[in-house]
């Protein structure tokens, strides 16, 4: 990303995303410095992902693929500036997570062969709770702050070439990542790469609390259900002058 302290709007292609796309397209000039757009989910086979990207009328540099399947990368990898490549971590061995990371490597190789000019951004991906759709998918555990911090420190040593750490409460989580502010502060104190966070954010206060600590806050379902809130959140980040 060209600036830290950014909002990410994550568009799930399985939604009715047309109102959200219309708002982004119509207001891009006023929000472009504070926001980037990710597209991806765990359900779509790739065709709707491609459709979203084709109807997203913003510069290529602001379009990112956050794929939940290999096919999403194949369909959409040529329509974005970069694809996010996760190293999914957890505090116990999991066959499910092991095979996910193998599929990620297969998908990464496919992207490299098919779209050699598309940037691939590798990051550590930690889901803090199993009680969400993504938590079940990656076989996550309920982690305390100390457990999560220890795991991140260990994983960074094992994966020194990662771009950033992404800590997620889980897509549409019951408990917001804003409830784990002390954990976010502790992580920031031990890493020298950007910290992304997201999951369960549903109001402007939670957003302000998290963006003060994390470099990037990712918001999906809340913007999907309330597209107009993007303008409010962008206004808040401009007012507080969080951009460096």
Kind and range of the H or E element at 35?
Answer: strand 35-39
Residue 132 lies in a domain: yes
Residue 108 lies in a domain: yes
Task: Give dist(CA 39, CA 22) in Å, integer.
Answer: 15
Q: Which domain CATH number covers 122?
A: 3.20.20.390
Give the max Cα distance, the chain: 46
Q: Please write the tens of the pLDDT for every residue from 29-68.
A: 999 999 999 999 878 889 999 999 999 999 999 999 999 8
Residue 23 in this model has a pLDDT that exceeds 70: yes
Q: How many residues does the chain have?
A: 244
Residue 68 lies in a domain: yes
Q: Please write the tens of the pLDDT for every residue from 169-211.
A: 866 667 789 999 999 999 999 999 999 999 989 999 999 999 9
The bridge status of strand 119-127 relative to strand 216-219 is unpaired
Residue 242 in this model has a pLDDT that exceeds 80: no
Residue 231 to residues 24, 26, 27, 137, Cα–Cα distance (Å): 9, 11, 8, 32
Give the three-state DSSP class for 177: helix
Residue 139 lies in a domain: yes
Residue 1 lies in a domain: no
Asked whether the beta carbons of 138 and 126 are under 8 A apart, the reply is: no
The bridge status of strand 119-127 relative to strand 6-11 is unpaired
For 48, the domain range is 6-239
Residue 226 lies in a domain: yes
Indicate the number of domains in the chain: 1
Residue 185 lies in a domain: yes
Residue 129's pLDDT band, with cuts at 50, 70 and 90, is: confident
Residue 162 lies in a domain: yes
Total-model pTM: 0.92
């Amino acid at each position: 990303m060209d600036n830290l302290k950014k909002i990410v709007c994550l568009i799930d292609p399985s939604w009715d995303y047309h109102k959200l796309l219309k708002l982004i397209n119509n207001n891009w000039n006023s929000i472009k410095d504070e926001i980037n757009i990710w597209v991806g989910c765990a359900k779509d086979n790739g065709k709707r992902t491609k459709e979203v990207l084709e109807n997203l009328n913003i510069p290529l540099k602001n379009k990112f693929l956050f794929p939940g399947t290999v096919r999403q990368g194949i369909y959409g990898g040529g329509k974005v500036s970069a694809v996010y490549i996760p190293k999914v971590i957890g505090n116990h061995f999991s066959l499910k997570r092991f095979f996910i990371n193998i599929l990620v490597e297969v998908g990464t190789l496919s992207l490299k062969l098919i779209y050699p000019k598309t940037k691939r951004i590798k990051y550590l991906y930690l889901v803090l709770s199993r009680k969400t759709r993504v938590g079940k998918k990656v076989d996550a555990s309920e982690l305390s702050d100390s457990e999560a911090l220890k795991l991140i420190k260990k994983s960074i040593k094992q994966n020194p070439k990662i771009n950033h750490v992404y800590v997620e409460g889980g897509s549409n989580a019951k408990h917001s990542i804003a409830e784990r502010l002390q954990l976010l502060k502790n992580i920031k104190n031990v890493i020298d790469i950007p910290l992304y966070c997201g999951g369960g954010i549903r109001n402007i206060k939670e957003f302000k609390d998290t963006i003060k600590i994390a470099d990037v806050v990712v918001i999906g379902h809340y913007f999907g259900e309330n597209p107009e809130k993007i303008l409010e959140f962008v206004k808040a980040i401009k007012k507080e002058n969080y951009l460096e």
